Amino acid sequence: MVGRPKKFDEQQALAAALEVFWKRGYEAASCEELLEAMGINSGSMYSTFGDKKALYERAFELYASNVFLRTQEILNGSGTPLENVRTWVRGWQEFQEEHDCKGCLVSHTIIEFGSSENPVGHRARKLIADMQVMLQEKLQDAQDLGELPEGHQPADLATFFVNTAHGMTVVARSGTGERDIPGIIRTMLALLGEKSANKIKPMKQPTIDFISSN
């Protein structure tokens, strides 16, 4: 490779762009803002990523694959199926805390592009569907082992959890996430039969910091 060397790191710039898109959404994130955060000028951005839309696709993919992997990792953890689901639910709180109550980019993307033929909207719906299946299977395992409280079907619960997660995106963005999310999580855990759910304070889980680099 000859010629002037790139002076910025593509992944780092992408992570910076993700941060902006995540906070503001696609439309509201101006190129100026993005370039500022990425630390490069328009020319570099356009030659590297194509255009704003393509940049969003890349940023979304970074987010999506990491959320998916994180979920997969937690649900297939070392505990029983139900314990893993609970850990996953508790993870949401941590996730919001870690990321400044910006909510989930997937929910945000569905709101912005959900009904359109936009490829990112399609990707977002697919991701949710896949995660919902994963969750449902785990809940089915829990039920087969007799871990699940009576009165709920795995499919209904999986749908419900996904719905709750979407809701937290709106709550987070309304500014009351810090106040409200802990209680929401407690109620979810109670649904899973965690009797003392509204007494215990969920403990910190060690997790991968999955956005910054890689």
Partner DNA sequence: TGCATTTTTGAAACCTGATTCAAATAGATG
Partner DNA sequence: CATCTATTTGAATCAGGTTTCAAAAATGCA
- Rounded Cα distance between 193 and 25, Å, is 36
Quote the least distance from Cβ 99 to a second copy, whole Å: 13
Closest by Cα among 84, 80, 61 to 72: 84
Closest CB to a second copy among 155 and 211?
Answer: 155
Alpha carbon dihedral 60, 188, 195, 98, in 10-degree steps, equals 40
Closest CB to a second copy among 12 and 30?
Answer: 30
Quote the least distance from Cβ 167 to a second copy, whole Å: 3
Alpha carbon dihedral 92, 117, 31, 54, in 10-degree steps, equals 90
Residues that bind a second copy (CB under 8 A): 23, 25, 27-28, 103, 107-108, 110-112, 114-115, 124-125, 128-129, 151-153, 155-157, 159-160, 162-171, 173-176, 180, 183-184, 186-187, 190-191, 195, 198
**Pick from a second copy, DNA, none: which does 11 bind, CB < 5 to 8 A by kind?**
none
Task: Write the DSSP symbol of residue 7.
Answer: -
Closest CB to DNA among 2 and 203?
Answer: 2
Quote the least distance from Cβ 117 to a second copy, whole Å: 12
**Pick from DNA, a second copy, none: which does 5 bind, CB < 5 to 8 A by kind?**
DNA
On the 0-12 / 13-18 / 19+ scale of CB atoms within 10 A, 99 is middle
- Rounded Cα distance between 104 and 204, Å, is 20
**Pick from DNA, a second copy, none: which does 199 bind, CB < 5 to 8 A by kind?**
none
Which two three-digit tokens encode residue 67? 């959320």
Closest CB to DNA among 51 and 178?
Answer: 51
Total residue count of the chain as it appears in this document:
214
Closest CB to a second copy among 76 and 176?
Answer: 176
Helix (H, G, I), strand (E, B) or coil at 32: helix
Tell me how far the alpha carbon of residue 10 is from its chain's centroid. Answer: 22
Quote the least distance from Cβ 10 to DNA, whole Å: 9
